Chain A
Amino acid sequence: DSGVTQTPKHLITATGQRVTLRCSPRSGDLSVYWYQQSLDQGLQFLIHYYNGEERAKGNILERFSAQQFPDLHSELNLSSLELGDSALYFCASSVRASENIQYFGAGTRLSVL
């Protein structure tokens, strides 16, 4: 158990809908990262938050947004969902922004029908 908690584990929804994925980092970790794992794109970095502030953006679509709350949990919001958004979404956490080791949650599997 990495200590990173993601909910829900599975999410099934329809095209055009909006969903929210939640991540609780390891106790004491200030950094949260979001990654997308899909069959065609592999594992791709989406966004990084440190202590409530956005620090880096990767290949994140404009339809997607994230935030980190004062209690350090994070949410990834996906809107106007398309079939191609179906993927496994991982959250990872680390102690500091410059910490190299990231610990991953079990992921949320999103299926868009």
Chain B
Amino acid sequence: GDSVTQMEGPVTLSEEAFLTINCTYTATGYPSLFWYVQYPGEGLQLLLKATKADDKGSNKGFEATYRKETTSFHLEKGSVQVSDSAVYFCALNAGNMLTFGGGTRLMVKP
């Protein structure tokens, strides 16, 4: 079946540091790929998406590129802020449902 693997956290960074959160997937067919973010006490918010190979999703300074050859969708941000502290989920959709990775907690210190 479909699966998503993402790096375990927590990831602790200082403000303005570079962020990478790794995500790889296994799926039949050609899934769409997503990053969702969950702030404390809140639901999941769509951060960015990519629907086909080589697409780059971007939003709020975050970027991720759909790499079919490496089945990856790594999340990056050039300069993180304290307000980026949250749990980030990589997910794929190959049909009716989302399959999520385990989530990566990001903590950004001032």
Interface residue total, chain A, C-beta cutoff 8 A: 23
Interface size of B in residues (CB-CB distance below 8 Å):
21
Which of B9-17, B64-72, B78-86, B89-97 lies on the face that meets chain A? B89-97
Cα of A90 to Cα of B46 in the assembled complex, Å: 14
Among the listed stretches A12-20, A65-73, A78-86, A102-110, which one makes contact with chain B, having 4 or more residues with CB under 8 Å of it?
Answer: A102-110
Q: In the docked arrangement, what's the CA distance between A107 and B101, Å?
A: 18
Are B97 and A106 in contact (CB-based, < 8 A)?
no
Given the contacts A45-B98, A56-B96, A104 and B103 also touching, CB distance less than 8 Å: no
Contact, CB under 8 Å: B93 / A106: no
Q: Is the CB of B103 within 8 A of A43?
A: yes
Q: What's the least CB distance linking B29 to chain A, in Å?
A: 13
| Cα distance A43–B43 in the bound complex, in angstroms | 12
Q: Are B98 and A102 in contact (CB under 8 A)?
A: yes
Provide the residues of chain B in CB contact with A33, threshold 8 Å: 96-98
A48 at interface, CB cutoff 8 A: yes
On whether the beta carbons of A48 and B32 are closer than 8 Å, the reply is: no
Interchain nearest-CB distance for A84 vs B (Å):
18
Q: Is the CB of B42 within 8 A of A43?
A: no
A residues near B45, Cβ cutoff 8 Å? 2, 104
Which chain B residues have a beta carbon within 8 Å of chain A's beta carbons? 32, 34, 36, 42-46, 49, 51, 89, 93, 95-103
A-side residues, CB < 8 A to B, are: 2, 4, 33, 35, 42-45, 48, 55-56, 58, 90, 92, 97, 100-107
